[in-house]
Homo-oligomer: A and B are copies of this chain.
Amino acid sequence: MSEKTIKPYLEQLAKLDFKNMYNNDFLHTWDKTTDELRAMYLVADALRNLRERNISTRIFQSGLAVSNFRDNSTRTRFSFASGTNLLGLQLQDLDEAKSQIAHGETVRETATMISFMADVIGIRDDKFIGEGDAYMKEVSESVEQSWRDGILDHRPTLVSLQSDSDHPTQSSADMLYLINEFGGLDNLKGKKVAVTWAYSPSYGKPLSCPQSLIMLLTRFGMNVTLAHPEGYDLMPELVKQAGVYAKESGATFTQAHTMEEAFEGADIVIPKSWAPYAAMEKRTKLYAAGDQEGIDKLEKELLAQNATHKDWCCTQKLMETTAKGQDTIYMHPLPADINGVSCEHGEVENEVFDYHRDGLYMEASYKPYAVAAMIFLQKAKDPIATLQALEDAATPRWNQA
C-alpha cells in the first residue's frame, strides 16, 4: 500500500485482456479468465491505493446499488455497502419481507421493478443447494432481457455475494490478501495450501467457501490439499474441475482424509467447517417437500455425525507441522468457532486464532475492494483511463482545509 502512484497497477493492467468484464456479471470466479481475475486484483489494489491516499474514486453522481440478502450477513453486507459507496452509489436493500413479492410475482418482474435506476445488484442466496445459482441466473437474464427490450436504459450488472456453489467476493479478498502478503500474484506459484474441514458445534455451514477456494487457488499455481472427514464431500463437479485447473497451472490438487496430512509442510492453512454435500442436497429436497419432521431428523443425524469429528481442530500442535510453524498463514472468512471463546470445542484453538488475528482482519479488509473492483470493471468501459483520470483529478475523498 506504500505506492505513491497507481502507475504500476495500470502498467500491469495494460498487458491483460479483460474487455468482456464490461457490462457483465460476476457470479463465479470460474466464469472469468485468469486475465480477468488478475485485472480485478489490480483494480482492487489501485482503488485501495487511491483511497488510502485520500483520492475520491467516485464514478457515479447518483445511482442505486440494490442488495438482496436472503441470508444473514455482516461482513459481506458492509463490504457491499462500502464498495458501492466508494464508487458513489447509494445502497437500497430489497427486504423481501417488506415487499409484495409474496404476491406470487415472478423473478423476472421483481428484478425489473427494482432496476430502473439500479447500476448494480448484489445477491446472497446460499441456503439451499442449487437455488442460489439458479436465482441469480434468473435475475441476470431478466434484467438483460429488460435492457434488450428497451425497458431499462442500461443493464444493471450482478455481483454474487455468495451462492450455494461459490463465494467470489470472499475468495477474491483471500487472494488479495495473499497477493499482498507474498508481494505479488506470481509469488503464490508452488505454495502449498491446506483447505480443510474443521469441527463446529453447529452444522450446515455453506459449502461455497471451500469450493470457492479450491476453484480459485488452483488456477494460480498453488498446490492445494483438500481434507475432510469421510462423508463431507464438496460438489463433485467442482472438485473434479479443481483438479483440471491445477493441471493447467502446473500445480497439484490432492485430497486427504486427515488434517495432519494437509497441514504437513503447508505455507497456508484454511480450516473451516462445512456441511456434507449429500446431506445438504437431501435437506433441500425435504425443504422443498415441506417435510419439517424429516429436516429435524436429518439435523439430529448430522449433529451426531459432526460430534464424532471434534478432533478436526486447528491446534498449535498442528501448526507446528506447517512450513513456518506458528507463523504459517492461517486464514478464515470469519466468524470462526474458537475454542473457549465462541464455543467449547470449535474450528480453532484460541491461541492460534489470537496469534493470527491481525492477519485475519487484514484478510477481511480486502472484501470491500474486491466488491468495488468487480463493479468498477463492469461499469468502466476503459478502466485504465478512468483510474488514471481519478488519480489526475485527485479530488479529496475527505476534504480538510
Contacts and interface: CB of A to CB of B under 8 A. Distances in A.
Given A74-B101, A98-B69, A82 B398 contact: no
A232 to B, nearest CB: 20
Contact of A90 (B74, B91, B101, B334): B91
Contact of A100 (B56, B335, B379): B335
A33 to B, nearest CB: 22
Nearest to A86: B62
Interface residues of A, number: 83
A304 B396 CA distance: 59
A59 interface: yes
B365 A116 contact: yes
A85 B85 CA distance: 13
Nearest to A22: B400
Interface of A: 1, 51-52, 56-64, 66, 69, 72-75, 77-79, 81-82, 85-88, 90-92, 94, 98-101, 103-106, 109-110, 112-114, 116-119, 146, 149-153, 334-335, 337-338, 341-343, 358, 361-362, 364-365, 367-368, 379-382, 385-386, 388-389, 395-401
B117 A362 contact: no
Closest 6 CB pairs between A and B?
A: A104-B342, A82-B117, A385-B401, A74-B99, A389-B401, A56-B61
12 contacts: A1-B153, A56-B62, A58-B399, A64-B81, A66-B78, A72-B99, A73-B99, A78-B92, A113-B364, A149-B361, A151-B358, A379-B400
Contacts of A73: 98-100
A248 B167 CA distance: 60
Contacts of A400: 59, 379-382, 386
B72 A98 contact: yes
Contacts of A118: 82
A346 to B, nearest CB: 9
B365 A103 contact: no
Contacts of A397: 60-63
Contacts of A153: 1, 51-52
Given A58-B62, A62-B87, A82-B92, 20 more contacts: A58-B399, A60-B397, A62-B85, A62-B397, A63-B398, A66-B78, A74-B99, A74-B101, A78-B92, A81-B92, A82-B117, A90-B90, A105-B334, A106-B342, A113-B334, A119-B398, A146-B361, A152-B365, A386-B401, A389-B401
